[in-house]
Amino acid sequence: MSQHAVIIGGGHNGLVCAAYLAKAGVQVTILERRSIVGGAAVTEEFHPGFRNSVASYTVSLLHPKIIADLNLHQHGLKILPRRFNNYLPMPDGRSLVSHPELKDTAKDLAQFSQADAQQLAEYYRLLDEVVPVVKDIMLLTPPNLMDIGFGDLLKLFSLSRVFRQLNNRQKRFLLKLFSVSAGELLDDMFESDVIKSLLGFDAIVGHFASPYSPGSAYVLLHHVVGEVNGKSGIWGHAVGGMGAITQAMAAEALARGVTIQTDAEVSRVEVKGGRASTVHLQDGSAIKADLVIANVNPKLLFETLLDPADVSADVLSHFADYKCQSGTFRMNVALDRLPEFTARTIPGCLEAGIIMAPSLEYMDQAYTDARRHGWSAAPIVEMLIPSIIDPGLAPAGQHVASLFCQQFDPGLGANWDQHRESVADLIIDTVNAYAPGFTERVIGRQIHSPWDLEQKFGLIGGDIFHGRLSLDQLFSARPMLGMGQYKTEIDSLYLCGAGTHPGGGVSGLPGHHAAREILRQL
């Protein structure tokens, strides 16, 4: 196969797409703007002797097929499961620990509500019944539907053999997940704030919205479909940070003959005779291509890298309104010792995701504050301390912590430069309220506001998913009706990033699917 494909962006989906194309005999060149490949899944030293994942920070969605097909374990990738999923400290000194085993979580929850402890099994039973359908759909190329509504969802779901095996009650629950808010779903099922907060947190991760925003229940679902080392519904840590994943992918791509150029920022994609023909770089050089594959936010592609004259008015109008708004503020901190929480802890629970947001109402208020004032007065913070299980990330006896913080208005744009440090202080103070003395333990920090995430990684609006996960931007409509099959309206121009089905997270599936569809058409 003599085709030459140029992939714009060396994030994980671009690497995956390149590896599959190269195996099929396509000549592939990856152009990466930064000096290192990996996109938002990279590991950096941010303080002398302290390394951590910079943006993306935990593993669950990375698909086992991609791990196997790209020989990632042979290239050194090692993923360690967390002993506990989440730890939720409460202001009254109690806490809820989410264990790998449901019965243990239910036992812990009983201190807050016996009814909720019993109901938890029903909640997970319902999810377990419908999650296989979503996993099945995630592996498909969406059909080219004309409209997106419940009727079209049923058409899409009907492609899944698993969906056809569901009974009517299960189908109703699945459709409910795509229409209602996470808050409504959880309020209907539980009575205690602590379990609603622990479960509802997943609905606002990377989603600039209230947990009571319609459709947010799907975002909750999007975060529970993963697995680590064959065990579903748990999260893990890549030894060496998230960069270990993308470096293993790059190693396999190189082994298959892929050319990777770093410090190679693309300025524009030239379209000649209705097809993408040449990729121009900022340094003035140009590369001719038979195929151009964009592993960047589709909004960035259509509004910045293409001449508006080469794009239809309909597409330009669509991407002018395309929603990219994560509301994420991402920090790494170097600690001279572990934090000590005033709430109850159990051995090993600090390996978990530590969620500091005691209720859905707290999360709703955080979003309201951010919409009105730019950021929440009481932020939502999830902290991970990966150096507990991966001590090589920090000097002996010291630690690194990821602070993944929600509800910060991406609409402030460059104005975040004026507020970055003071908001970082607010986040540290928020953690300090749960773990007194935390402030004094911080000896270094790396700060990424939504604007920083956009400037550094090309995440428009700081959007970690390359586009909001809402019904109008999912499945066949991701990123636009007519482009859900990874091909744009311009001949030989394709999409392979998180702005395509099945969406964001470090899964590798958009890159895998794009390669599959491209090869079918060659």
- 408 in helix, strand or coil? strand
- pLDDT reported for residue 223: 60
Which is nearest to 89 in space by CA: 393, 323, 364, 339?
Answer: 339
Give the separation between CA 92 and CA 358, rounded to whole angstroms.
10
Pair 253, 22: CB distance under 8 Å:
yes
Q: Scanning the structure block, which residue is given the tokens 């994942």?
A: 53
One digit per residue, the tens of pLDDT, for the chain of length 522 reads: 579 999 999 999 999 999 999 999 999 999 999 999 999 999 999 999 999 999 998 888 899 999 999 999 999 999 998 889 999 999 999 999 999 889 999 999 999 999 999 999 999 888 888 888 888 888 888 888 765 555 556 666 666 777 778 888 888 888 888 888 999 999 999 999 999 999 999 889 888 999 999 888 887 776 667 655 666 667 889 999 999 999 999 999 999 999 999 999 999 999 999 999 999 999 999 999 999 999 999 999 999 999 999 999 999 999 999 999 888 999 999 999 999 999 999 999 999 999 999 999 999 999 999 999 999 999 999 999 999 999 999 999 999 999 999 999 999 999 999 999 999 999 999 999 999 999 999 999 999 999 999 999 999 999 999 998 887 888 889 999 999 999 999 999 999 999 999 998 899 999 999 999 999 998
- pLDDT reported for residue 284: 97
- pLDDT reported for residue 441: 98
Measuring CA to CA, how many Å separate 375 from each of 333, 367, 491?
20, 8, 42
| Cα 92 from chain centre | 32
- 195 in helix, strand or coil? helix
- pLDDT reported for residue 14: 98
Pair 32, 260: CB distance under 8 Å:
yes
Q: Scanning the structure block, which residue is given the tokens 């500091």?
A: 356
Full set of structural domains in the chain with CATH: 4-38+61-79+240-322+467-521 (3.50.50.60), 102-224 (no CATH)
- pLDDT reported for residue 171: 83
